[in-house]
Amino acid sequence: MWGIIATWRMAVEGVQKAADMLKEGGDAGDAIEAAVREVEDFPYYKSVGYGGLPNEEMEVELDAAFMDGDTLDIGAVAAIRDFANPVSIARRLAKEKVNNLLVGEGAEKFAHKEGFERKNMLTDRAKIHYRNRVKEITQQEIRPYSGHDTVGMVCLDTKGKMTSATSTSGLFMKKKGRVGDSPVSGSGFYVDSKVGGASATGLGEDVMKGCVSYEIVRLMREGLHPQEACQRAVSQFDKELRERRGKAGDMSLIAMNNKGEWGVATNIEGFSFAVATENLKPVVYLTRIVDGKCVHEPATQEWLDEYMRTRTAPLVEK
């Protein structure tokens, strides 16, 4: 059995690419890296890699992680600037014995020495988004942080090896140096080939309060199906946050176990995800919450077309 599951519609081209590799017996590390890079390279996705939205200072600072579920090796970068594919740097760091999570300048120095491709990740389109948002904030007090999404994936190959990876520009207009859940083990991602893996997108500040990816893997280890594990972890933690703090940030999680069974849960409307397994062609699902439970159905062609149309529509400066 092989499989790959990923947060958001934007992942589906990557999932397709990974599926092509996995069905030929490809390695879960290579497949997940290729899948995430596909998302990082596409300029119209505003929250991952090239074209990602900048921080307050109009700089694109990226977070990414990679985990190997066989060895439990972890590598991650946070607040890294000017490198094309943070996930590949994270994967490279996972091979080190120490210095596995590098931030800012340290991460950039490492990437430079290792010969990773430099790239100015701030696109003209992202600059327009930035300037528009600055105007909106000063005119109408709009919350600066909307406009984020992480690509988070879990992958299983035919040898039973599992991996997890994330990549994101984090929150639009974040403070310089702000790091979310995505490069943080147990929060943005976790995987153990003996069990399965999970990955998150949402408000990192809240996801980190519950180490939600680890919690899902823990529940799967106790025997829960990935769907049950996701639903229980997300519902319980959402409730916990509301009771203690009056509100809960966005939280959407995907998971897969080492049999290729998968699950998803969210506390928001409109979460989408992409999945492919030996028995399932790459597909985008849309979720809804019905009676407190997350249900999903395949996205219609109309929805998919509209998604691409709005992502690539000309952007005017306000």
- The CA distance from 284 to 25, in Å, is 23
For ligand ASP, which stretch binds (CB under 6 A), given 49-57, 87-95, 164-172, 236-244? 164-172
Nearest distance in Å: CB 25, ligand ASP: 32
Nearest distance in Å: CB 97, ligand ASP: 27
Instruction: Specify the residue, 277 or 287, whose C-beta has the smaller distance to ligand ASP.
Output: 287
Q: Is 170 in the site for ligand ASP (CB under 6 A)?
A: yes
Among 54, 197, 202, 263, binds ligand ASP (CB under 6 A): 202
For ligand ASP, which stretch binds (CB under 6 A), given 17-25, 64-72, 167-175, 236-244? 167-175
User: For residues 48 and 151, is the Cβ–Cβ distance under 8 A?
Assistant: yes
Q: Quick one: 90 exposed, middle or buried, by C-beta within 10 A (0-12, 13-18, 19+)? A: buried
Torsion of CA 220, 224, 228, 230, to 10 degrees: -10
Q: Is 277 in the site for ligand ASP (CB under 6 A)?
A: no
For ligand ASP, which stretch binds (CB under 6 A), given 28-36, 88-96, 142-150, 270-278? 142-150
- The CA distance from 312 to 318, in Å, is 17
The yes-or-no answer on residue 150 being catalytic is yes
Q: Is 149 in the site for ligand ASP (CB under 6 A)?
A: yes
Among 85, 88, 100, 150, binds ligand ASP (CB under 6 A): 150
Instruction: Specify the residue, 21 or 165, whose C-beta has the smaller distance to ligand ASP.
Output: 165
Q: Is 204 in the site for ligand ASP (CB under 6 A)?
A: yes
For ligand ASP, which stretch binds (CB under 6 A), given 114-122, 202-210, 213-221, 275-283? 202-210
For ligand ASP, which stretch binds (CB under 6 A), given 118-126, 131-139, 165-173, 271-279? 165-173
Q: Is 86 in the site for ligand ASP (CB under 6 A)?
A: no
Number of residues located near ligand ASP, criterion CB under 6 A: 13
- The CA distance from 97 to 318, in Å, is 49
Backbone dihedral region of 82: left (phi > 0), alpha (psi from -120 to 50 degrees) or beta? Answer: left
Instruction: Specify the residue, 29 or 170, whose C-beta has the smaller distance to ligand ASP.
Output: 170
Binding to ligand ASP, residues 171-200 (CB under 6 A): 171, 180-182
Select which of 7, 150, 163, 201 is catalytic.
Answer: 150
Instruction: Specify the residue, 150 or 258, whose C-beta has the smaller distance to ligand ASP.
Output: 150
Nearest distance in Å: CB 183, ligand ASP: 9
Nearest distance in Å: CB 211, ligand ASP: 13
Q: Transcribe 230-268 into DSSP letters.
A: HHHHHHHHHHHHHHHHS----EEEEEEETTS-EEEEESS
> Interface with ligand ASP by CB under 6 A: which residues?
148-150, 168, 170-171, 180-182, 201-204
Residues forming the active site: 150
